[in-house]
Amino acid sequence: MESANPFDADSPRYAAVRPAYPTPALDALLARTEASLGRPARTGADIGAGTGKMTLLLADRGLDVTAVEPSAAMRRHMAHVLKTSGYLLQSDEIPTLSNTPGRPSSTGFPEAPSDASGQASVSAGASPVLDQFSSRTPASALSRPYVPARTHGQASVPAGASPVLDQSSPWTSAPASSTSHARAHAHAPTIRLLAASAEDTGLPDAATDLVVYAQSWHWVDPDAASTETARILAPSGTICAVWNQMDVSIPWIHRLTRIMRSGDVHRPDRPPAFGSSFTSPVLDVIPWEDTKTPEEILDLGTTRSSYLRQDRAGRARMQENLRWYLYEHLRFAPGEPVAIAYSTLVWTAERLG
């Protein structure tokens, strides 16, 4: 990934306001992976994992996931999210627990115990209630795939479920997928967090069934990342690039993205260049709708790379333009729910050989 990473700048609201991925997108990529492998995926790597939105969704489907993220700021955000998710988090950045219960670490939450390798571990008999890094148990409400109900274009969250895992509201029926990913899994998945890049993950050869670039493929060197992905994928494993993007065919949303400088629109007729080690990419498009208040849209603007690269004056100017557009031009009221149309592009290809 590029050396001057804008996401090294701290963006406290990133995890809260960036949308997750709709359930049908997960259904599609897992179904295509299963078709390629001839069995359900057991392991996945989330490259450029950010705050862990895709990581959590894959783990909730029963996969052991390695989250690869080069930005220290993003890794701190991810660790903060994962500490309450009920999964076993393995990370070389988690120090050994001291004798003082609940001593805060540099990330701001209690440290997890470490084994001899320096990775977080859970001792035999440890309580998942007392240990924030314990594996999710099959009885947990979040061990079952969460399919949000469509209610006036908003995702409703069932009692006991966390909206962190899926903030979207799918508008198309999910593709057919194996019941192996639709039922509660008996396996308690773990999440490993690595400080590494797409071009040099540090993972062993043929280490994973699925490699996902969720909102991150456009940040990588495609030739180097394709070579590395082919190396770490199991035979017939799947590479997947996923993008959430606002529907710019709607005029007011198109202007919103211009004011927010939301970046390139990823067109369905321009597949990612996965390279000669893979089959031709196949596309699934999932239209859906997110709902945010004007204040949350303002926060969303602060998570864009174009904003993070600005100096203080540039950031203030971008926010002022956005306030004018939302409150004065569009006349949205503070706190008013605003429906924003999205589409999720899911590109998948199978590793050859």
Q: Higher pLDDT residue, 137 or 78?
A: 78
Q: Give the Cβ contact number of residue 345 at 10 Å.
A: 20
Residue 308 within a domain:
no
DSSP assignment of 160-228: T--TTS---EE-SPPPP--GGGTS--SS--EEEEE--BTTB--PPTT-EEEEEEES-GGGS-HHHHHHH
Residue 110 within a domain:
no
**Which value, to the nearest 10 degrees, does the dihedral of the CA atoms of residues 67, 70, 74, 75 take?**
50
Q: Give the Cβ contact number of residue 68 at 10 Å.
A: 28
Which of 33, 70, 34, 32 lies closest to 50, judged by CA?
70
Residue 335 within a domain:
no
pLDDT at 125: 31
Residue 313 within a domain:
no
pLDDT at 14: 59
pLDDT at 315: 84
Which of 37, 59, 11 lies closest to 239, judged by CA?
37
Residue 70 within a domain:
yes
pLDDT at 165: 27
Cα dist from 53 to 77, 85, 194, 311, whole Å: 11, 11, 15, 28
Q: Higher pLDDT residue, 231 or 173?
A: 231
Residue 217 within a domain:
yes
Q: Higher pLDDT residue, 134 or 283?
A: 283
Q: Give the Cβ contact number of residue 314 at 10 Å.
A: 12
Cβ-contact 155, 53 below 8 angstroms: no
- Which pLDDT tens digit goes with each residue over 241-280? 999 999 999 999 999 998 887 656 788 989 999 999 999 9
Q: Is the pLDDT score of 182 beyond 70?
A: no
DSSP assignment of 75-130: HHHHHHHHTTTT-EEEETTSPPP-SSTT-B-TTSSBPPPB-TTS-B---TT--TTT
Q: What is the spatial distance between Cα 110 and Cα 201, in angstroms, rounded to a whole number?
A: 27
- Which pLDDT tens digit goes with each residue over 293-340? 999 999 988 877 767 777 888 888 889 999 999 999 999 999 999 999
pLDDT at 264: 60
* CATH code where residue 187 lies: 3.40.50.150
Top mean-pLDDT range of 92-101, 148-157, 222-231, 242-251 = 222-231
pTM here is 0.70
Cβ-contact 352, 327 below 8 angstroms: no
**Lowest mean per-residue pLDDT among 93-102, 174-183, 196-205, 276-285:** 93-102
Which of 171, 224, 162, 177 lies closest to 196, judged by CA?
224
> What band does 107 get if pLDDT is binned at 50, 70 and 90?
very low
pLDDT at 134: 27
The arithmetic mean of pLDDT across residues 126-149, rounded, is 26
Number of domains in the chain: 1
pLDDT at 144: 26
- Which pLDDT tens digit goes with each residue over 191-229? 999 999 999 999 999 999 999 999 999 889 999 999 999
Q: What is the residue range of 55's domain?
A: 6-87+135-246+263-289+343-350
Residue 203 within a domain:
yes
> What band does 20 get if pLDDT is binned at 50, 70 and 90?
confident
Amino acid at 258: R
Residue 182 within a domain:
yes
SS3 347: strand
DSSP assignment of 209-221: EEEEEES-GGGS-
SS3 243: strand
pLDDT at 302: 85
Which of 185, 189, 181, 219 lies closest to 68, judged by CA?
219
> What band does 110 get if pLDDT is binned at 50, 70 and 90?
very low
Q: Is the pLDDT score of 67 beyond 80?
A: yes
pLDDT at 84: 74
> What band does 19 get if pLDDT is binned at 50, 70 and 90?
confident
Question: Dihedral of CA 166/172/177/179: which sign?
Answer: positive
Cβ-contact 87, 114 below 8 angstroms: no
> What band does 233 get if pLDDT is binned at 50, 70 and 90?
very high
Q: Higher pLDDT residue, 177 or 10?
A: 10
Average pLDDT, whole number, for the chain? 74
List CB contacts of 3: < 8 A, sequence separation 6 or more: none
- Which pLDDT tens digit goes with each residue over 43-65? 999 999 998 999 999 999 999 99
